[in-house]
Amino acid sequence: MDLLLDVDWRGGRRRAIEAALRSAIRSGRLAPGTPLPSTRALAAQLGVARGTVVDAYDQLVAEGFLTARRGGRTVVAAGASRSGGVPAPAVPPRPRVDLSAGAPDLHAFPAQAWARAVRAVLRDRPDALDYADGRGRPELHAALVDHLARARGVSATPGQVVVCSGVDEALGLVVRALVATGRRQVAMEDPCLSFHRRIVAGAGATVVPVPVDGDGLVVDALDAVGAEAVVVTPARQPVLGSTLAPGRRGALVAWARRTGGVVVEDDYDGELRYDRQPIGALQALDPDRTVYLGTASKSLAPGLRLGWVVVPPELAGAVEPLLPFHSPVSSLDQLALAQLVETHALDRHLRRMRTAYRRRRDQFVALLAERAPAARVEGVSAGLHALVRWPEDGPGEREVVDEAGARGIKVTATAGMWHRPGSGPPGLLVGYGRPPAHAARAAFEAFAGLMADLTGAARSATG
């Protein structure tokens, strides 16, 4: 192994090596447990006799800086570092039961199909290992245009597609473009995903909340807040689970045409609908005034960091100057995804997962109804999580979240998703998609037991 030492040779070779090693250990550059090169290797690297390095190691062992393991390497001793640097961030413990909202089953990732696609790309496209372009690979642009037109009704040309590292980056890119065109008042659903609100504000826009009800975004409220653009989730509102009603879809398009506003469509869970026919993308109603955002985070895996934005002509000029400043996505992953789309392996995977997720959703709803009938489940017609609520005279949301954490159950609180935190009724987003099939029932039973214990009084009163 290589070891860079800043050696000041004045004062003798052995002492110079000792001083350089002490300095590296005290500064924290050599952390406790770090193995050092063999005495022979370090001597060759520094151009000194091996015995000089042996003597230096022995002295530092005696001082407690190093530990010599019999038959093994010399390593930096525990507690030897005197560094006052920034400590490593604490790694949160893995939950015993992971019911994260919006999280897919990672065990179900189509590993064989993905590996075949990667092998084909490496065999046929050596340029996949070269620097990537900020706009993305044209092969993926073309594949996405065909897939989105067929599966979501999106109207686009390959030149309108920009590949991003997930919807989060795509949203920030679009909002910066909106601000560049003078559209700073950006309406967002209330409630919405809190980190999306932070992204919009961080991109320089002013967030104005617009209420959501059982028919989705209340479009009539846009004029009252002076919105110049709006971020909306027509397919499935991520918190309440509602779908934008047909009348409101038309009203939203009419608002954009009348005011010159821009609609930013986050196609949240658009490909994961269970109880009725999929609803086409809003973008198809007015491709000239609607920005479309999509991702492979739920259909495949969030770790791939593959998302895309379909940019309407209205914003193309504002997006183009921003592309050199956004991080390109791996060409290898882009071309592998294009292979999955072109061979329809992605379609086959989605069909399998819709069946699997629907089965888990039904099991989750049934177990909760049986064990904790005071709790009610909403927003389960699509997606990977449900909104769970309970009577208002029951426990507070913080109490439920804390008790879930104490039992090793990971759930998602909703209080921070309202524009004024805590202004909505208590509730949790509980994911039924993340637990693998073999562990799903046990995970759902653990949560049902939690809710049964915390809403027992309310359950008895309703019984």
pLDDT tens track for 135-145: 999 999 999 99
CATH number at residue 239: 3.40.640.10
Q: How many domains does the structure of the chain reveal?
A: 3
What digits encode the pLDDT tens for the residues 92-137?
788 999 999 999 999 999 999 999 999 999 999 999 999 888 899 9
Q: Is 184 exposed, middle or buried (0-12, 13-18, 19+ CB in 10 A)?
A: middle
Give the N- to C-terminal CA distance of the chain in Å, as an integer.
69
Last residue of a domain, one of 329, 359, 383: 329
Do 190 and 302 lie in a common domain? Answer: yes
315 belongs to a structural domain: yes
108 belongs to a structural domain: no
What radius of gyration, in Å, describes the C-alpha atoms of the chain?
Answer: 28
pLDDT reported for residue 251: 97
CATH number at residue 422: 3.90.1150.10
pLDDT reported for residue 68: 85
Beta bridge partners of 291: 264
120 belongs to a structural domain: no
Do 323 and 359 lie in a common domain? Answer: no
Contact indicator for 156, 310 with CB cutoff of 8 Å: yes
pLDDT reported for residue 86: 64
Residues 6+ apart with CB under 8 A from 324: 134
**Phi, psi (rounded to 5 degrees) for 21:** -70, -45
CATH number at residue 68: 1.10.10.10
pLDDT reported for residue 301: 96
Do 318 and 170 lie in a common domain? Answer: yes
Which two structure tokens, joined as six digits, stand for 267? 């196609």
What length does the chain have? 463
> Three-state DSSP class for 235?
coil
pLDDT reported for residue 83: 56
90 belongs to a structural domain: no
Do 374 and 448 lie in a common domain? Answer: yes
Domain with 294 in it: 133-329
260 belongs to a structural domain: yes
Q: Tell me the residue type at 145.
A: V
110 belongs to a structural domain: no
The answer for 460, left when phi > 0, alpha when psi is -120 to 50, beta otherwise, is alpha
19 belongs to a structural domain: yes
Do 317 and 352 lie in a common domain? Answer: no
pLDDT reported for residue 459: 41
DSSP assigned state of 382: B
Do 167 and 279 lie in a common domain? Answer: yes
The candidate with the shortest Cα–Cα distance to 426, out of 458, 384, 462, 463, is 458
410 belongs to a structural domain: yes
pLDDT reported for residue 91: 77
Instruction: Please tell me whether the peptide bond between 421 and the residue prior to it is cis, using omega within 30 degrees of 0.
Output: no
Do 163 and 269 lie in a common domain? Answer: yes
pLDDT reported for residue 173: 97
CB atoms within 10 A of CB 371: 18
pLDDT reported for residue 452: 96
Residues 6+ apart with CB under 8 A from 151: 271, 278, 347
Do 373 and 438 lie in a common domain? Answer: yes
Do 316 and 365 lie in a common domain? Answer: no
Last residue of a domain, one of 281, 299, 329: 329
pLDDT reported for residue 397: 95
Do 149 and 288 lie in a common domain? Answer: yes
Do 202 and 150 lie in a common domain? Answer: yes
Q: What is the pLDDT along the chain (463 residues), one digit of tens a residue?
A: 788 888 888 878 999 999 999 999 988 889 888 999 999 999 999 999 999 999 999 999 999 999 987 767 899 998 776 655 566 677 778 899 999 999 999 999 999 999 999 999 999 999 999 988 889 999 999 999 999 999 999 999 999 999 999 999 999 999 999 999 999 999 999 999 999 999 999 999 999 999 999 999 999 999 999 999 999 999 999 999 999 999 999 999 999 999 999 999 999 999 999 877 778 999 999 999 999 999 999 999 999 999 999 999 989 999 999 998 888 899 999 999 999 999 999 999 999 999 999 999 999 999 999 999 999 999 888 999 999 999 988 999 999 999 999 999 999 999 999 999 989 999 999 999 999 999 999 999 999 999 999 997 444 434 4
Do 388 and 278 lie in a common domain? Answer: no
